[in-house]
Each structure stands twice: as C-alpha cells, then as structure tokens.
Amino acid sequence: MGKYTERDLELQLKPYSKNPLAAFFQKIWRGWLSAWYGFADRHPKLSNIIYMVFFFVVFSYGVTIWQLLVMLFLPQAFSSLSGTFAWPMVRMGDMTWTEPIFEAGKLTGGFHENVPVYFSIFGDSAGLGNWLAFEIAVFTAQCINFPLQRNITYRSHGNPWYQAMWYFIGWVGVSFLTGIVWGAIDPLLKSAGWYYVVNSEGVLVENGALYFLATLIKTVITGGVSMFIFFFIFLVIFPNNDKVAAKTKAKYEKALAANASAEKVEKARAAWRKAQDRADRSNAEKAYSQAVTQANSKALKYFATIKKIAEAEKNTAAAGEALEEAKRRGDAAETARKVMAYAEAEWTELDLKARVKTYFKAAGDAIDRKEAAKAEYLSVMERLGLPAKI
C-alpha cells in the first residue's frame, strides 16, 4: 500500500488506559482533538481566535468558581476580625434597622434606628475579616490563572518574571476598578438587608441565603469585570509571537535602510532574532503536537475500518447463507427479501474495502507530516540549545 506498513501505523497509536472509564474519556478527547486540528488546518485564523477565547473564558470562570468556594469557608477563619474596614468612607445615606420590642414574651412593637451607609473602594461592609478573606481568594485565584493563561491560552515563551510583574500591576489596577464597582453596589445590598437582619430575639444575624447571594454577586461582578479587562492585559503581556517577530524584523530592516549606527542595527537585529526564536519554538511545538495527534487519529480510523470490514464479511456470509436457505425452501417472497439483504451487506463490505485504502494513505500522509514536524521541532530546539520533549 506504499512505503508504510500496518506495523508503522500501529506505532502511531497511543495505548488507552486499562480503566474503562478513563479509556472512554480518552477516546472522546482524542476524537475531539483530531476534529479540532482538522478544522484548524482549514481555518487557521478563526481557530486561533476560538481557541484563545475558549480557554480564556474557561480558566477565568474556573478561578471565579475557586474564589466563590474559598469565600464559603475562609471568612470563618477571620470571624474575630469583625470591625468595619473601609476606605474611603463616603456617606451615601441611611438605612433603617427595625428592632423588635417584647413584653411578657410577646412581640408588641418595634424600635426603628437609622444607620449610615458608606461608599468605599477597599473594604467590606461585612467587616475586616470578610475583606481579608476576599482578597486572599482573589490573589490565590490569580496565582492559578496566570500560569494557565500564559502556558496554555497564549502559549507564551516570554520572561515569566517580567510577565508576572506586569500581571501583578494589572491585578492591582483591576482590583482598584472593581473596588469602585463593588463600592457602589455594596451599600445598596446592605440597605436592603441582604447581609444582616434582626431576628425575633433582637439579635443581629446573617441573612442566610441572601448573604450567600450577595457574596455570589460580588464574586461574579468583580470577576466578570476583571475577566474583561484582563483579556486585553494578556494581549499586551502575552503578545502573539509571530506578530512580535514580524514587528521587530520590520524595525531591524528600517534601521538598515536608514543607515543607522552599527550599535542600533545590532540591537535591532538581536531583538528580532530573540523574537523570531520564540515564534519558531512556539510554532514548532504546536505543529509537532498537532501532527502526533493527527497521525494517531488517522491510524485509529484505519484500524477501526479494518474491524468493520471483518464484521461486514461475516454479515455478508451470513446473508448469503440465509439467501441460499430461502432458495432451498422455494419461498419467493422470502428469497426476494434475502436478495436485498445480501446485496446491502455486500455493498457495505465493498464500500469499506474501498475506503480503507484511502484511510491507509491518509494515515501514511499523516506520518509524513509528523516526521517532518518532528525534524523541524528537533532542529529548532537544537538551534536554541533547549531540551526537546519527544
């Protein structure tokens, strides 16, 4: 069938887990990867946008859920820090507490008290402990989000410390902005009694489900605003490697054309080579990873078809025997039905045998692309003096 044998195709297969459940999800994942990489080959620009937006949203909402989970428990650890902490304290109005009055164990009326409501950027109406818990939840979420976005969403190979510094600066700025947003919403929820209420015994207690809902609203609003802003921050600190390489190359060529000093030309050339090396590494890694998955997928499709052919041959043989039996009995109506069944089984078998050749060739072509991508990847990593992961 060509320069490759079935053994060559078998070597492309990645063994499935022996655990049936794990193997089931592996099949789904590998099938999805194969379909995705096929789509990416046909629509490179669109697929890149879809890929980036998908993982950005998934990771962003994932860490938002993490913040919510942390906020369900961590505030209890700081429950002793219940004093109000807020800056700046800008009075927005008053809210009214209604405290019950009892006589002889019976509710006879209520005492109304006006309590001031303040706008603040940093702090929390629920107290210092709640604010500390929230900031810890947000900070740990960003510690999770940064490596995921850098390594998976944007596939960046830039200086991680430099990027982390700008990420931290961006986080501080976003925190300030989201603090303003929440500072405007928080007093409204407080005045509506979402945090605390006075129970029938005159004791101030958390307002149950509404308290949790207020925490959820805070997490989603601040997380949503952060996600929107961080998308553009990431585009700056995790720039597209190919675009950066093209931009730095243009600067280098401009310096040459302008007869700039040797020092400036060399500086521009060094910046271009550095950016180009990052782009080459990223592209080589991506191309090799895709080629490996495609070779595995094409080989799987070929061997799956081989199994179908074996089943089709059995079905054709069984249909042929049923047809002969109908002829021996002399049942014309039954014979006509069996003729149709036999013809359908034979057509299925022939169709599979015709298609399997195409699948074998496609698998061979995928192996060629894999070997070419592998050679390019090894060449790039060797040129950069970096270890290759094969």
Sign of CA dihedral 230, 155, 143, 67: positive
Q: Is 153:167 a contact under the CB 8 Å cutoff?
A: no
Query: Is the four-CA dihedral 110, 113, 117, 123 of positive or negative sign?
Result: negative
Reply yes or no: is the peptide bond before residue 88 cis, omega within 30 of 0: yes
Pairing verdict, β 196-198 and 204-206: antiparallel
E-only strand ranges, the chain? 85-87, 90-103, 106-119, 122-124, 196-198, 204-206
Residue 226 to residue 174: CA distance in whole angstroms: 6
94 bridge partner residues: 116
pLDDT at residue 200, rounded to an integer: 57
Looking at per-residue pLDDT, the higher value among 218 and 242 belongs to: 242
Claim: this prediction has a pTM higher than 0.85: no
Residue at 388: amino acid letter = A
pLDDT per residue as tens digits for the range 65-74: 888 888 888 8
Least confident of 35-44, 46-55, 89-98, 279-288: 89-98
Count Cβ neighbours within 10 Å for each residue of 26-42 and write b for 16 or more, e otherwise.
Answer: eeeebeebbeebeebee
Are 276 and 245 spatial neighbours (Cβ–Cβ below 8 Å)? yes
Residues 113-128: what's their mean pLDDT?
60
Give strand pairing partners of 122.
87
pLDDT in tens, 244-303: 899 999 999 999 999 889 999 999 999 999 999 999 998 999 889 888 888 888 888 898
Tell me: the pLDDT tens digits for 168-204? Answer: 888 888 877 877 777 777 766 666 666 655 555 555 5
In Å, how far from its chain's centre is CA 388? 25
